[in-house]
Amino acid sequence: MPKARSPFQAAIGKLILELDRQYMSQVMDDQPLDSFEEALDKAHALLGCGSPDEVKDVLGPLTLRRYFGEMWLGSYPKISEKVSDAQELLSS
């Protein structure tokens, strides 16, 4: 039986889905994909965290917005929204 996910992990799962959607859009438009691959790697690292302490270990002193990159997020409003949703859960 699969392990139940925390609300934070569920939010990161939604972030990963949006990253995948945007990634596929970039593939279709023949755009560079390095930043998406890096973001997906970062999101998967967070998804694997089993506790808030593990998330803090991954993030260090960074917020989720800084972890993914403020400027990069500014180019992708839907991804930015998912990051903000996850940050809100992390902060509560």
pLDDT tens for each residue of the chain, 92 residues long:
557 888 999 999 999 999 999 988 877 777 667 888 899 999 999 999 988 889 999 999 999 999 999 999 999 999 999 999 999 998 88
| Structural domain harbouring 25 | 7-87
* Amino acid in the structure at residue 22: Q
Token pair listed for 4: 């139940």
Q: Where are the alpha helices (H) located in the chain, listed in sequence order? A: 7-28, 34-47, 52-59, 64-68, 70-74, 77-91
Name which of 82, 63, 65 is nearest 20 in CA terms: 82
pTM summary value:
0.85
**Does 2 fall in a domain?**
no
Domains contained in the chain, number:
1
d(CA 87, CA 27): 28
Q: Confirm whether 72 is domain-assigned.
A: yes
The verdict on residue 1 lying in a domain is: no
In a domain, 92, yes or no: no
Asked, for residue 64, whether it belongs to a domain, the answer is yes
